[in-house]
Amino acid sequence: MSKPIRVLVTGAAGQIAYSLLYSIAKGDVFGNNQPLVLVLLDITPMMTVLDGVLMELQDCALPLLTEVIATDKEEVAFKDLDVAILVGSMPRKEGMERKDLLKANVKIFKSQGAALNKFAKKTVKVVVVGNPANTNCLIASKSAPSIPKENFSCLTRLDHNRAKSQIALKVGVTAKDVKNCIIWGNHSSTQYPDVNHAKVKVQGKDVGVYEAVKDDNWLKGDFITTVQQRGAAVIKARKLSSAMSAAKAICDHVRDIWFGTPEGEFISMGVISDGNPYGVPEDLIYSFPVVIKDKKWKLVEGLPINDFSREKMDLTAKELTDEKETAVEFLSSA
């Protein structure tokens, strides 16, 4: 057995973490031979709930779990981390402007970025889940100047999985038969789910999505809006936000960082846009197609972009630029 790795989950008393922690602890993410120290961080009023989560993890009697630490202190939570999964954030409340949400989250992610900078390993991999995820990720990265910005990513894998499953349902195959969907841009309703480069396995043969679906209007219309608004649809139905599917997407995202992407496949994640080949403004955390090898991501280059896609990609980039400007304004005054 190898040496234990330290993995932090923030917002650990929340419902996404409740679906996530068992999967991490039983080996779904880092493999069946990797011992773990799980660090759980939440705010002080949630510590009683967090103690309950801690007890349940102990009661699972999982062989890989060497220690579970529950804390409300950043200096304890961020110490010597190998992986930080930042789930906790200020949720948007009814009547709250996006600007107010950004202001509240700038404080959280500035503080957590500074804690990463001070206490975590410089090799730490940081995944931001808490919304607005792209901009929160950018703030955390800017607040941790000693950690390479390539080590920061935000979760758009849930949107990616949603796109795959919609195509699979339409064609009558399973999600594993669909590959190379792309989510461009922001994890918001401006994101652009793009299937121009995706393939579907139909009767043992890989075919383009447009050929497999045979419904261009659906692909350019309802498919896009369904993926963009899926989170809101889940909230409307469940009266709670996506938790099981979000936890599964986090596992997929982190496992691919750890072990790499399958040969011939790319996935979507929000990463820094410096010097990208797709005309996205620099210094945004923007969702791109990437491949991962040896724990390093690389943009998939050379994909042709048609006018329809270009317009959608620019629209979501504009929203991210506006968010960044607002957040940076708050950052300088925070």
Q: Largest Cα–Cα distance of the chain, in whole Å? A: 58
User: How far apart are the C-alpha atoms of 54 and 38, rounded to whole Å?
Assistant: 10
Q: Would the annotation count 162 as a binding residue?
A: yes
Q: Would the annotation count 130 as a binding residue?
A: yes
Neighbours of 235 (CB within 10 A): 12
225: Cβ contacts below 8 Å, ≥ 6 apart: none
| CB-CB contact of 171 with 212 (8 Å) | yes
Beta strand segments in the chain, E: 5-10, 36-41, 65-71, 83-86, 125-128, 152-154, 178-179, 182-184, 192-194, 199-202, 205-208, 267-272, 285-293, 296-299
Q: Would the annotation count 42 as a binding residue?
A: yes
Q: Would the annotation count 234 as a binding residue?
A: no
Residue whose structure tokens are 């997929």: 252
Q: Would the annotation count 131 as a binding residue?
A: yes
**Which one from 160, 187, 197, 253 is the annotated catalytic residue?**
187
236: Cβ contacts below 8 Å, ≥ 6 apart: none
| CB-CB contact of 281 with 321 (8 Å) | yes
Listed residue (229, 209, 200, 197) closest to 306, CA to CA: 197
- Residue 187 designated active-site: yes
| CB-CB contact of 122 with 46 (8 Å) | no
User: How far apart are the C-alpha atoms of 100 and 330, rounded to whole Å?
Assistant: 10
Q: Would the annotation count 92 as a binding residue?
A: yes
Q: Would the annotation count 14 as a binding residue?
A: no
The annotated binding site is made up of: 42, 92, 98, 105, 129-131, 162
The annotated binding site for substrate is made up of: 92, 98, 131, 162
Task: Give me the active site residues, please.
Answer: 187
The annotated binding site for NAD(+) is made up of: 42, 105, 129-131
